[in-house]
Structure 1
């Protein structure tokens, strides 16, 4: 597997020779208005993470997926139950003696959402998994031998059945992977360029590049002295907080370049947040962009996050774990995330959902209390499923007592007569 380098190598672009018969495109390239004559800042993982929107997307997705409860289940005689023991410990508590489950999964997903690939090695005792160790994708190579994938890390070869491998997106050769940072490097590079320009602008006291107009002294030394005098006057005015400074008679200063406001600097930087959010298929509200957020569509973006992003990545991780931990044909055991864990901070919605599940016999009271890490009711009171008393099978007649009229004696007398 070829991983794109930390520092991208760029070739030197030759300047075209301009003649009287040059095309408009050639003239544009000569003046830096087209082609590759003007290059954006070099984008690496380290420089990309200095963009707040990229850092926010990577941290949000990796931490959200790492915080999801991950459980093992076993199916026996048509009934599925949550499995406990060593496998549950590896998945939801500690995959090895050095990493917690949250740390391991956060690191795993950070590699997916930066370089484009997360990898881990399954350590086995015979066929039984005993530990899961994260691998550094930048130091792992992949090759095919007789059609089979072989992973090489730290001088050792591993078969594909022992490697958990989740790519951001596979390339056509089914070995290399696309990474979101490298694939979206133009958008990220533009965000870096605007950040650099804004930093330089405000670091200079908000003074744009200036041009001195007027009769200039002759000779290079005299010109340098004049420049130094002007520079000294500007610096002195800035340090003393003065709003003006003296100029030589007949000279003026004129701004050079485009005013950031006229260049729509603020709007462009906001648009780059939305561009980066598109690269991660992430609703902009989760990158703190509420410029177009309303009460209703913000709530819908919360639902969109689970259905069209978190749920898909959770399924990719589940399928990889099920294949590598249990094999291709073992269908009695499986691993699954509990997406209800996303409601952990929403107490009202969580309690309302548990109450409705109890009332419709989908959960027993003890099972609902277990979800909240509370002890079961004593004497098995909460072990039986409950259902609302008004809910009966279609077509059945409720057993209602016959209403009493108070004339039972008269009816008996009529019958005897």
Structure 2
């Protein structure tokens, strides 16, 4: 144990520069000259759309606590104290949807999501409260053990300026992509140049229209102007601003207007803005059609893109959430019997016709019952006595446990006989006086069953 304690003592504390409030990426700003923070980035429509799509998708998924049953399957552990907290109400102040939406927003902007765990005297989880990531820092003590340091401020409910030390068992920490596996990097910080360029192009477009959608230029006068400031202000008041766009200028005393800036088309302004939207969507791995870019989407591929969004975008986030919750909120003994699972089936459902065809195949091949299908379609169950739980197979649509029931039946004497095939009883030549000397076998008919025996 001494070797391991020395190893952890020698390890550096988590030093991801974008963790907590230490935004070293932001000190110099972006190469476009625009300051990029989590709040300024959210003013970009593309960033806001991506964050909102992912946060609402994770928040809207059903989240359940399951237990393994004796049959090797699973069932919802509704009686577990954690079920109500995760599924319905993490704390008295917010619903499960709002709680997960908030934490997912933190995770996408800061790269980390934190929630304080409130436990009772038995160690059971009673409530979860979100914590702001920019006020949290992760460090190690002299023994190499992790601890969380939270800067509480007066802008929080009932808060005051103080530093609170929390143990790892008191914090639900969901880290994003990082280098040390303990704290995550902020996607906003890592992509600050792409977002900064998008902010710059949007600001350029706003100023372009604020100037009346006319390029800046030079007013030339053949003589000498005594008060150039007055002429400039008069020109700006009459022709500046989007409200004056399209006005006809009347120049006196031989004055001439000469534009000196290139047009937005020459600067490929619109193309730049469009590319930056796709660039931001690429950062969050969101399909362009989900942020309003339908150029390369069609009715034939948009459903497939939506399924890929679930598989390649949402699924990694879901796994990150599930494992963090199980690691922190379940005791070692509970992990043997319980697990937490998001339900993605609703997002993976195709159109109505595709679902019905899939259900028909599952029903006819005996691995889904009518009630299994009705539960997926959010319909009431058929009573068991009415056959709602029966598993059928194609052909005669018999219950699975009765498949081949007519293969072995009993005759009148109680002995089993095979009735699936026609059995021909052949008399040997000369055994019966009537058929003496015949070469071909003569079948006999059993009139009771109308078959040849």
Question: Normalising by the residue count of structure 1, what TM-score does the alignment of the two structures yield?
Answer: 0.80
Pick the aligned partner of 2:66 from 65, 69, 73: 73
Contact 1:216 1:223 in 2 (8 A): no
1:75-134 CA distance string (max 9 Å, x none) = 144522222223322222222222211111111101111111111223223132222222
Query: For the pair shown, which has the larger CA radius of gyration, 1 or 2?
Result: 2
- Secondary structure in 2 aligned to 1:170? coil
The 5 Å alignment of 1:176-187 reads 176-187=183-194
- Secondary structure in 2 aligned to 1:169? coil
Matched, 1:3 2:21: yes
Cα distance in 2 between the residues matched to 1:347 and 1:261: 45
**Count, aligned residues:** 378
- Offset at 1:370? 3.0
The 5 Å alignment of 1:135-150 reads 135-145=131-141, 146-150=143-147
Deviates more, 1:349-358 or 1:266-275: 349-358
- Secondary structure in 1 aligned to 2:116? strand
1:238-297 CA distance string (max 9 Å, x none) = 75x875222134332111222101111111111001110111122212111122223444
Q: 1:202 is matched with which residue?
A: 209
The 5 Å alignment of 1:5-404 reads 8-10=26-28, 39-77=32-70, 79-82=72-75, 83-85=77-79, 86-125=81-120, 126-145=122-141, 146-153=143-150, 154=152, 155-172=163-180, 174-217=181-224, 221-231=226-236, 234=239, 239=244, 243-328=247-332, 330-343=335-348, 346-380=351-385, 381-389=387-395, 399=407
Contact 1:73 1:80 in 2 (8 A): no
- Secondary structure in 2 aligned to 1:267? helix
Cα distance in 2 between the residues matched to 1:263 and 1:398: 81
Contact 1:318 1:335 in 2 (8 A): yes
1:34-87 CA distance string (max 9 Å, x none) = xx9x74221122221111110110000111111111122211445222222233
Contact 2:211 2:242 in 1 (8 A): no
Instruction: Name the CA shift for 1:369/1:127 in 2 (closer, same or farther; >3 Å).
Output: farther
- Offset at 1:233? 5.2
1:355-389 CA distance string (max 9 Å, x none) = 44433333332233233443322353212333323
Contact 2:20 2:136 in 1 (8 A): no
1:134-164 CA distance string (max 9 Å, x none) = 2221222221122222123344332223322
Cα distance in 2 between the residues matched to 1:290 and 1:177: 32
Contact 1:150 1:157 in 2 (8 A): yes
- Secondary structure in 1 aligned to 2:227? helix
Gaps of at least 5 residues in structure 2 are 1-18, 153-162, 408-418, 425-441, 446-453
Question: Normalising by the residue count of structure 2, what TM-score does the alignment of the two structures yield?
Answer: 0.74
Instruction: Name the CA shift for 1:379/1:225 in 2 (closer, same or farther; >3 Å).
Output: closer
Instruction: Name the CA shift for 1:183/1:260 in 2 (closer, same or farther; >3 Å).
Output: same
CA RMSD of aligned residues (A): 3.4
- Offset at 1:403? 7.0
Gaps of at least 5 residues in structure 1 are 12-35
- Offset at 1:202? 1.4
Contact 1:40 1:186 in 2 (8 A): no
Cα distance in 2 between the residues matched to 1:65 and 1:205: 43
Instruction: Name the CA shift for 1:352/1:339 in 2 (closer, same or farther; >3 Å).
Output: farther
Instruction: Name the CA shift for 1:312/1:253 in 2 (closer, same or farther; >3 Å).
Output: same
